[in-house]
């Protein structure tokens, strides 16, 4: 009878072996989730839009239409509806909602709305604000181009026009021209705006403001 051979493996331990400690550092923090594309698009333009544009209504909307518009706005952007979103998302939604609530607070009050409409005609986007893009005294820009905001019709075109006027004030004719072309695309047929773009393209470049 052959002699039994000793096992080459150690007997199983009754106590689980301890896993070796990792020498690596702590795990990296989780990357913040990207903003929802719709929220990001709102965040990009919210400070460039007027109160009517924020609520998606026309400038002759009555009190009922204003209230209905704000209710729809609240359903989309009220912070309580985004309690479980990431911190960046909640911060973005909160900012958008505050801007919408500001618009509603002004437009629902007749006296405030009247004052706002007067300021809006001077390109003042917020009540009692000193105008984000004030037009020139002569109704023309520094390049002899008619105040482009007055030439636009659609809300989207006016939004690009405000940005173009700001670029013109800073001496950036190239950016202004591109923004006006976007405004023309939004408006469709607009011969006056087309002429303004042509005059701007022919104007001599200016040094950008510091």
pLDDT in tens, 163-173: 887 787 777 88
Same domain, 43 and 126: yes
Same domain, 127 and 41: yes
Q: What are 116-156's pLDDT values in tens digits?
A: 888 887 788 888 743 333 333 334 444 444 466 677 877 77
| 161/200 Cα distance (integer angstroms) | 13
Same domain, 185 and 104: no
Residue 78 counted as domain residue: yes
Q: Which residue has the higher pLDDT, 65 or 18?
A: 65
Binned at pLDDT 50, 70 and 90, residue 52 comes out as very high
Same domain, 127 and 44: yes
Among candidates 158, 102, 115, 107, which has minimal Cα distance to 135?
158
**CB neighbour list of residue 91: distance below 8 Å, 6 or more residues apart:** none
Show which of 132, 160, 190 is a domain's final residue. 132
Domain count, the chain: 2
Q: How high is the mean pLDDT of the chain?
A: 76
| 91/72 Cα distance (integer angstroms) | 20
Identify whether the C-beta of residue 94 lies closer than 8 Å to the C-beta of residue 85: no
Q: What is the pLDDT, as a whole number, of residue 108? A: 94
Same domain, 99 and 186: no
| Backbone angles phi and psi of 42, in degrees to 5 | -65, -40
Q: Domain with 124 in it: what CATH number?
A: 1.10.287.110
Same domain, 128 and 47: yes
49 CB-contact burial (10 Å; exposed 0-12 / middle 13-18 / buried 19+): buried
Q: What is the pLDDT, as a whole number, of residue 20? A: 53
Q: What is the pLDDT, as a whole number, of residue 18? A: 55
| 203/145 Cα distance (integer angstroms) | 9
Residue whose tokens read 């052959």: 2
Among candidates 209, 160, 151, which has minimal Cα distance to 183?
160
Per the structure, the complete domain to which residue 46 belongs is given by 36-132
**pLDDT at 26 > cutoff 70:** no
Lowest mean pLDDT of 31-35, 169-173, 180-184, name the range: 31-35
Same domain, 117 and 155: no
Show which of 89, 117, 132 is a domain's final residue. 132
Lowest mean pLDDT of 26-30, 91-95, 161-165, name the range: 26-30
Residue 2 counted as domain residue: no
Q: Give the rounded distance of the alpha carbon of 76 from its chain centre.
A: 15
Q: What is the pLDDT, as a whole number, of residue 33? A: 59
Identify whether the C-beta of residue 200 lies closer than 8 Å to the C-beta of residue 176: yes
Residue 128 counted as domain residue: yes
| 135/164 Cα distance (integer angstroms) | 12
**pLDDT at 27 > cutoff 90:** no
**pLDDT at 40 > cutoff 50:** yes
Helical axes 173-187 vs 191-202, angle rounded to 10°: 160
**pLDDT at 15 > cutoff 80:** no
Residue 13 counted as domain residue: no
Show which of 132, 154, 176 is a domain's final residue. 132
Same domain, 116 and 153: no
Q: What is the pLDDT, as a whole number, of residue 10? A: 47
């Amino acid at each position: 009878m052959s002699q039994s051979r000793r096992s080459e493996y150690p007997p199983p331990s009754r106590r689980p072996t301890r896993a070796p400690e990792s020498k690596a550092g702590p795990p990296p923090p989780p990357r913040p989730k990207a903003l929802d594309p719709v929220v990001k698009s709102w965040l990009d333009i919210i400070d460039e839009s007027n109160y009517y544009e924020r609520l998606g209504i026309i400038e002759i909307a009555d009190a009922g239409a204003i209230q209905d518009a704000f209710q729809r706005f609240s359903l989309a952007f009220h912070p309580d509806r985004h309690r479980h979103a990431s911190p960046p998302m909640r911060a973005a939604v909160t900012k958008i909602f505050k801007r919408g609530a500001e618009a509603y607070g002004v437009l629902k009050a007749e006296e405030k709305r009247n004052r706002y409409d007067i300021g809006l005609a001077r390109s003042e986007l917020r009540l009692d604000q000193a105008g984000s893009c004030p037009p020139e005294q002569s109704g023309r820009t520094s390049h002899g181009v008619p105040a482009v905001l007055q030439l636009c019709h659609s809300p989207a075109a006016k939004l690009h026009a405000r940005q173009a006027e700001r670029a013109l004030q800073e001496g950036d004719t190239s950016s202004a021209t591109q923004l006006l072309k976007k405004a023309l695309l939004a408006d469709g047929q607009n011969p006056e705006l087309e002429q303004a773009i042509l005059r701007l393209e022919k104007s001599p470049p200016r040094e950008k403001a510091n």
